[in-house]
Amino acid sequence: MDARPLVENYHSATASARHFADPIVFWDETLRDGEQMPGVHFSPEEKLRIATVLSEVGVQVIDAGIPVVSPDEAEAVRTVVGAGLRAKILASARTVAGDVDAVIRTGATHIAIFVAASEVHLRYKLKMTQEQVLEASLASVRQAKDAGLHVAFVTEDTVRAPFDYVERLYKAVQEAGADRLVVSDTVGIMTPLTFRWYLEEFARRVHPKDWSVHCHNDFGLAVANTLTALEVGVTTPHVCVNGLGERSGNASLEEVVVALESLYGVRTGLKTERLYELSRLVEEVSGVPIAPNKALVGYNSFSHEAGIHTHGILAHTLTYEPLQPEVVGRHRQMILGKHTGKAALVEKLKEHGITTTDPLLVELLRRVKNGGEARGKDELHRFLEEYRTLFEHPGLTDKEFWQMVDDAGIRGNAP
C-alpha cells in the first residue's frame, strides 16, 4: 500500500513564523461598515436578524452602528443591545462628546472611538492639527471609560500616517484607558509583506495589550492582509459577511474564518456549517447579490461542469476541491452544459438507477452539449441590464432628489 499522502501541505513549514492569538476574537462590521456600502440600509429589525445569526454562529463582537447618525440608527443599536445576545454589542463614535453620549444612551457595553490619523485626512477632512486630534482622542477615551465602557480606539488611515505620530497617539490613548487598539488600512493599500513589517513595528513601539486590524479590499487584499495580521499575533480581526463595506468592501468573514480552520488548522470556535445560511441572509437583507464566483459562498464555489474536473471530482473530491462543501453548509453540484463529460452523465443517470450503453451515452452527451451551446442569452442580458441599473447608481435617483429639493422649498430661493 502506497503510504504517500494524497496532497502535500506546506503550511507546517512556516508554522514557526506564526503567532496566533488564543482565542482569536471576531469583530463583525456588517451592521456598520457593511451598511455604509452605497445603496445598503438596514432597519432595526433587519439589524437584529443579522446580529442574532452572527451571535449564534459564534461571533464575539458585533458593531451595531453609529447611534448619532439618526434616531432610527440609535433605535437599531438599542434593539440589538436589548436582545440579550451572547455576542458583545459595540457601537461607534467619533472623538466628539455628543457621539460618545449617544453610545452610552444605547446601553452598549463596548464602544469604538474613531478619528483620522494621516496628514491628508487631518488637513483636508478634519482641518485639525495632530495635537488637536490627540486631545480630542484622550477626552473621548476618558469619557467612555468613566461611563464603564470597554473602549476600542480606532484611527482611520493608520498605515498612511507618520509612524512617530501613530506611536505617540496610540501610547497616549492606551495609557488613558483604551482597552483595544485598532490599526486601519482604510483604502486597502497594504500588501501582506509590508503589513507584516508595519504590525511588527507597531507592536515593538506601542506594546498593545489587545489589538485589532480593519482592512479594506480596494486592491483585493483585505483577507490576505487580515490573515497576515493574525499570523503576527493580532487578536481581533474586523470582518464583514460577504465582504460588504464601503467601495470594494472589507475582509470577508467567511473567508477569514474558513482559511484559519482549513489552511492553518486554527480552531475558531465558529459554526462554519452555518456560514452559507448567514451569507444568504445578508444577501437577502442587504439586497447585494453574492457573486457566483465568490469564494466559499458563491453559487459556483462547489459547482463543476468541465469534463476533466467532474471526472476528477467523482474519482476523489480532493482533485478539484480544497475542502468538503458541507464545512460551510454547501452541497456539491454537477452542472450540465457545453463542457460536460461522460462521467457526469453516468453519475446523473445513477440518480434514477439508470445505466446505458456507451453509444447511447455518446448520443446523450452530444445532445447535452448542443443544448448547452444553443441556450440563448436574452434572459441573462435582461438581468444584467437591471443589475447595472440598480448598482451603478445606488441610492436616490436624481428625480427623487430634485423632488425633495422642491418639497423643501430650496429651488424657489435660487437667484
State yes or no: pLDDT of 1 exceeds 70.
no
Q: Residue 52 has what pLDDT?
A: 98
State yes or no: pLDDT of 411 exceeds 80.
no
Specify whether the CB–CB gap between 244 and 298 falls below 8 A: no
CATH number of the 18-286 domain = 3.20.20.70
- DSSP labels, 313-370: HHH-GGGT-SS-GGGGT---EE--STT--HHHHHHHHHTTT----HHHHHHHHHHHHH
Q: At what angle do helices 192-206 and 222-231 cross, to 10 degrees?
A: 40
Stretch(es) of the chain classified as CATH 3.20.20.70: 18-286
Residue count (the chain): 415
For the chain, what is the mean pLDDT? 95
Q: Are strands 61-63 and 180-185 parallel, antiparallel or unpaired?
A: unpaired
State yes or no: pLDDT of 224 exceeds 90.
yes
Cell matching residue 412? 424657489
Confidence band (pLDDT; 50, 70, 90) for 414? low
- DSSP labels, 269-295: ---GGGHHHHHHHHHHHH--PPPTT-T
**Which residues are CB-neighbours of 174 under 8 A, at least 6 positions away?**
153, 181, 206, 208, 209
Within 186-240, strands assigned E span 211-215, 236-239
Q: Mean of the pLDDT values across residues 248-259?
A: 98
Q: Residue 240 has what pLDDT?
A: 98
Residue, of 86 and 307, whose pLDDT is higher: 86
pLDDT tens digits, 310-367: 888 889 999 999 999 999 999 999 888 888 888 889 888 998 999 999 999 889 889 9
State yes or no: pLDDT of 413 exceeds 70.
no
